[in-house]
Amino acid sequence: MYVMIADSGSTKTDWTLLKGSEIIKQVKTIGFNPYFQTRDQINLEILNHLKPHLPEVLHLVTEIHYYGAGCSTPEKCRLIEECLSLTLDISKINVSHDLLAAARALCKRDWGIASILGTGSNSCLYDGSHILENVPSTGYLWSDHGGGSQIGKCFIRDYFEDRLQADLVKAFEAAGFNREVILDNVYKNSVPAKYLATVSLFVSKHLQYADVMRVLEECFDTFFVQQINKYSNSKKYKVHTVGSIGYYYKELIAKVAKKHGYEMGNVIQSPMEGLIAFHTQ
């Protein structure tokens, strides 16, 4: 039996085709978020960049387990389900929020606080089977605390407000960023969170600057204050993270966690390995 698992964030989607517990093929496409992309945009991406990789085995796939950013309501889950069913002609499709993927990959069957720290951010209190509590993520405009989009947004704020040291500003502008470029990309881009996250890539290459570390600590502070602190008896549980930001800044995040009275647990870059284990047990 062939089964496909998809883990989709706002930036990229990892697709893994399994035969039993054997990995047959792995493919990457852009990320999908039904809040920001239309049905037609999602359909075209699947047709052009996923389906061509599966010509000989697609008819053997019996089930898809899809975990995606923005799949937080029945309506949004149904949109993704309909796109997959139409483009891949597979009837058994299970669509869940990417937060459940994080919880299953990080905590397995144990209690814990599972969080996503990638382009965006989200978190939940998980009992080993179900998500019990979730502080709702409201996206890059109001939250995404500790995520790449918030890091980019806070760094741009300090750039616009002339709060960065001169040689850091010079390096930022030499990398192709300036007021007009930033405003065009944020206000005219169909997925501005992705653009903001590209600024966080610049930030990651300039950790020697005190202004960069100040921005990072500010963002990780808000992650614990606005997200983690709000769960019932939160300090009883380890905080686990999945995603590129959580992975690359794990030492700094652990330092901030300790300041707020938390212990970090599992830190992984991608949930796929854990999801494969979960679905092949």
Residue 66 sits in a domain whose CATH number is 3.30.420.40
Q: Which sign, positive or negative, has the C-alpha torsion 57, 58, 59, 62? A: positive
Say if 120 falls within a structural domain: no
Say if 173 falls within a structural domain: no
Burial of 131 (0-12, 13-18, 19+ CB in 10 A): middle
Paired tokens of 116: 């996503």
Please tell me the distance from the alpha carbon of residue 214 to that of residue 50, in angstroms, as a whole number.
40
The string of pLDDT tens digits covering residues 178-201 is: 999 999 999 988 788 889 989 999
Q: Which sign, positive or negative, has the C-alpha torsion 244, 192, 15, 82? A: positive
pLDDT score for 190: 77
Say if 111 falls within a structural domain: no
In this prediction, what percent of the chain has a pLDDT beyond 90? 82
Say if 246 falls within a structural domain: no
DSSP 2-59: EEEEEEE-SSEEEEEEEETTEEEEEEEEE---TTTS-HHHHHHHHHHHTGGG-TTTGG
Paired tokens of 5: 């698992």
Q: Using alpha carbons only, give the angle 180, 186, 188 rounded to the nearest 5 degrees.
A: 90
Average pLDDT over residues 117-142: 90
Provide the number of structural domains found in the chain: 1
- For all residues of the chain together, what is the average pLDDT? 93
| CA–CA distances in Å: residue 229 to residues 113, 125, 234, 237, 262 | 11, 11, 6, 11, 9
Say if 239 falls within a structural domain: no
Say if 21 falls within a structural domain: yes
Say if 86 falls within a structural domain: yes
The string of pLDDT tens digits covering residues 107-123 is: 988 999 999 999 889 99
Domain that holds residue 70: 2-100+273-280
Q: Using alpha carbons only, give the angle 117, 121, 127 rounded to the nearest 5 degrees.
A: 85
Question: Beta strand 22-30 with 61-68: parallel, antiparallel or unpaired?
Answer: unpaired
Say if 138 falls within a structural domain: no
pLDDT score for 60: 92
Burial of 19 (0-12, 13-18, 19+ CB in 10 A): middle
DSSP 3-state of 120: coil
Nearest to 33 by CA among 193, 226, 243, 272: 193
The string of pLDDT tens digits covering residues 213-242 is: 999 999 999 999 999 999 999 999 999 999
Please tell me the distance from the alpha carbon of residue 267 to that of residue 115, in angstroms, as a whole number.
10
List, in order, residues 6 or more apart from 155 with CB less than 8 Å away.
199, 200, 202, 203, 212, 215
